[in-house]
Structure 1
């Protein structure tokens, strides 16, 4: 009988010290220092962006990709999840886009990312949200460090709609995985624990860059799968295909947990979760951010329930053929934008 995903997670370490040291010895560049402009090393990389009604920000996100300093070419695949605004027009006309596809009906970001992953030619897939503007060095820094053995996590600095990005660039401390001040006297959303006193949480620092989250351990409300956030995430494409990609059911239910489940499956497949502190993008909030957030939180209990159920199932593997077949079938019904 196969072990459950939760059991396998409890057996996996996340001490990535030797992994980062290999890169540093080979390049002479510290792990958390940017590579030089026009750096040519690293792996072939494909950026995959799911997009739904993001005409308020998508052009800025693509502009930033068009000005990356990485010396190697990389493809940008944008999947329009049946938007009702002018998102598809931006995809069809922006020069940074290598391939643009429009789904025939809304499927959710999980399915959009799966389709982009199957289409991708790179050894590494960089998942990027359609509202994340990247500094010019980010793609190079991720591509330079990508391997078959690591999930590279970046970070996000939220900007309210209409607020200009600070000239100093995005701030690592703005991410909740870096600076975290949870509520007291009510259950936390993920773990369900209740804190009775305020804490000054520092998940990234206090877990030694996630090393201490191996073997299924928690830092209050955080565990290792929850540190995997697809707003900015670089992963080996072959492993994503092997585990069957994202679970599309999360997109049907609502918001949340689809990237956490992907993280759990990648960790169970033996990958390390390694943060890259200089990989921080600006997350551009929509005009109706408060309303969207309330809508997302309303779906959280259902997506969390599905995630917990999947933890009791076997860790997925050997799913590449099935995923590729289903996505190629879907592709035949899509509109080619670019």
Structure 2
């Protein structure tokens, strides 16, 4: 029987990327998880797309880090301000790292903001980056050197609590830690129904999703590691995707943002897996995620809205896999940009 729904196609797709990582090593002499010298990215352009809403507290540090990247590849940085009420747009349009600064006329959500940036992007490969993620100097070269038409490249994040200082956030001198990401070190609650799998764990688990799944390879064919599956590994805090396939699946579904928070990146991951992409982690690509002052309150608000977006995700899993949606994506995103302010250097 031919797979027709998104869920059925996920079960039909493997995630064996060993041939890809071996070929990269053979071609470059570099380990897949090795920080990348600038020269390895030469001739490999990258469009960095940053959605931003009221993140003026973090955006200067994020852009400073991008301006300091060691990469020989061409880089454009597109910041899409989602109708902020603080100084986010002023920061973006004045910073030397920014190629294009966009201010949307009204709040559209991170899905719409990312779609707008992707439509304006010139490179074949996109790197979605949160506006509160500070990257080590090698990360853009890491992504550019490894990008391929069939890869979804995932980086990781290390959350830093908010710090009130006159000069803004303080970035530690030490590198961010891979183990700080929940996809790497995970301690789930016991005696609680886990939302994705429906499992209830009765004993404490010292979870290691990244290691236990052999760099996500064992999550092919719709398999789970407890409450983790392959689409969940596509987290847009730091995510590289091929632009052509991103557009063909219709980009991010803005309905998730209208309903609440979360799942839009999981859905994109599912759509790209269905389109025969492999999800491959970069263990060396870890950024510092700068928490806002009201991080706890924001998290509670997000969790309140999460059931609605999870229900929508389960609904679209039962629908046909998105493909051939480039024209619809372009039309909808051009409409979103019609009244936007766009400043290009």
Residue correspondences, number: 338
| CA shift for structure 1 position 291 | 0.3
| CA shift for structure 1 position 325 | 2.0
| CA shift for structure 1 position 4 | 0.5
Give the TM-score of the pair, scaled to structure 2. Answer: 0.96
**CA distance in 1: counterparts of 2:130 and 2:85, whole angstroms:** 18
The corresponding residue for 1:65 is 66
Deviations 1:262-290 (A, max 9, x none): 00000000000000000000000000000
Are the equivalent residues in 1 in contact too, given 2:3–2:12 (CA < 8 A)? no
**CA distance in 1: counterparts of 2:73 and 2:14, whole angstroms:** 33
| CA shift for structure 1 position 37 | 3.4
Q: CA RMSD in A?
A: 1.2
The corresponding residue for 1:5 is 6
Unaligned runs of 5+ in 1: none
**CA distance in 1: counterparts of 2:265 and 2:56, whole angstroms:** 23
| CA shift for structure 1 position 22 | 1.1
1:317-332 alignment runs, 5 A limit: 317-332=323-338
Q: Is 256-265 or 41-50 further displaced after alignment?
A: 41-50
Q: Match of 2:171, SS?
A: coil
| CA shift for structure 1 position 38 | 4.3
Cα gap change, 1:306 to 1:25, in 2 (>3 Å)? same
The corresponding residue for 1:172 is 178
1:1-338 alignment runs, 5 A limit: 3-41=4-42, 43-162=44-163, 164-338=170-344
**CA distance in 1: counterparts of 2:21 and 2:38, whole angstroms:** 21
| CA shift for structure 1 position 165 | 3.2
**CA distance in 1: counterparts of 2:195 and 2:125, whole angstroms:** 32
Q: Match of 1:104, SS?
A: coil
Q: Match of 1:274, SS?
A: strand
Deviations 1:229-282 (A, max 9, x none): 000000000000000000001111111100000000000000000000000000
Are the equivalent residues in 1 in contact too, given 2:43–2:74 (CA < 8 A)? no
Q: Is 164-173 or 237-246 further displaced after alignment?
A: 164-173
Deviations 1:170-201 (A, max 9, x none): 00000000000011011123322110000100
| CA shift for structure 1 position 167 | 1.9
| CA shift for structure 1 position 71 | 1.1
Are the equivalent residues in 2 in contact too, given 1:42–1:146 (CA < 8 A)? no
| CA shift for structure 1 position 72 | 2.1
**CA distance in 2: counterparts of 1:294 and 1:304, whole angstroms:** 16
Deviations 1:14-64 (A, max 9, x none): 010001111111101111112223444363110000000001100100000
Are the equivalent residues in 1 in contact too, given 2:152–2:242 (CA < 8 A)? yes
**CA distance in 1: counterparts of 2:297 and 2:217, whole angstroms:** 36
Are the equivalent residues in 1 in contact too, given 2:44–2:74 (CA < 8 A)? no
Q: Match of 1:49, SS?
A: strand
